[in-house]
Amino acid sequence: MEQRVLGSTGVAIPVVGQGTWQMEIDDEAACIDAIRRGIDAGMTHIDTAEMYGSGAVEALVGKAIAGRRDEVFLASKVLPSNASYSGTIAACERSLEQLRTDRLDLYLLHWPGQHPLEETFRAFKDLRAQGKIRYFGVSNFDQAELSKAIAIAGAREIACNQVLYHLLERSIEHRVLPLCERHGIAVVAYSPFGSGRFPAPGSTAGRVLASIAAAHHVTPRQIALRFLLRRQPTFVIPKAASAAHALDNAAAGDLRLSNEDVARLETAFPLGRDRGVLPTL
């Protein structure tokens, strides 16, 4: 599994991690097995949030990593409605309890909200000083919001911006990704398969994807993940509710695409115009 340094943290983590959104609706035993098998395969970056299942998914992740906490780079998120200074501290404490751990490796503000960023970041820095989190970042921040966050948090403080990014939604490449590159901020792509919008095999673009996959003797989903990883700051966190799916995702970690492959995918899945709005789910 290829590893890259996450933003300005100096810590190398796998380029393919594990997302857990909506795991509360899946079979718990199968999800726990998938997470554990994913860790075995090198996907040690595990992402969750207090919002997911109102804490149920954090509890599931806690069960999955029991006895293996030191192997894992663990991330969670605070809801914007909880992101006052005291609310952030309390939310982090709840997440730690659900996850059965004494620290988070990465703590994110889930999306911009009404509480001043100054309060949220002050809480993040105090949590870091207490050893309850190692690094902090943001999620679903557009260019203007991220620029403001950088100015408030300080240079090289924000570890990452977690955003929607997949073959059919490349809007972040216009402004958000270049801004992250300039400031040493990692880009973590959530829903990298499009959350139900993966290219249909019979579509023109889907046939291009299948052709490249066949040439590499891999699956179209592995090609899709690798395409998103072609720029250095990016990481992906696909969800897998089964061990087989987890192992399929992990195999993208060592895949390499040629310049011709990338050019074909760029043409098949065009960037499109800058709509000026950050896409989210």
Reference 167, options 213, 121, 228, 239; nearest CA is: 228
In DSSP terms, 13 is beta-bridged to 4
Catalytic residue selected from 52, 107, 135, 190? 52
- C-alpha distances in Å from residue 2, one per residue of 34, 206, 219: 20, 26, 18
Reference 15, options 279, 257, 267, 271; nearest CA is: 257
pLDDT, tens digit (0-9, with 9 covering 90-100), for 100-118: 999 999 999 999 999 999 9
CB 126 within 8 A of CB 89: yes
Parts of the chain with a pLDDT under 50: none
**At 109, phi and psi to the nearest 5?**
-80, 120
Residue 86 CB-density burial (10 A; 0-12 exposed, 13-18 middle, 19+ buried): exposed
The structure tokens listed for 269 are 């899945």
What pTM was computed for the model?
Answer: 0.96
User: How many residues belong to the chain?
Assistant: 281
Report the Cα 56 to chain-centroid distance in Å: 19
pLDDT score at 126? 98
pLDDT, tens digit (0-9, with 9 covering 90-100), for 1-47: 999 999 999 999 999 999 999 999 999 999 999 999 999 999 999 99
- With left for phi above 0 and alpha for psi between -120 and 50, is residue 180 left, alpha or beta? alpha
Is 135 catalytic? The answer is no
Report the Cα 26 to chain-centroid distance in Å: 20
How far apart are alpha carbons 266 and 268 in whole angstroms?
Answer: 6
pLDDT score at 57? 98
Q: Beta strands 12-14 and 3-5: pairing type? A: antiparallel
**At 40, phi and psi to the nearest 5?**
-55, -35
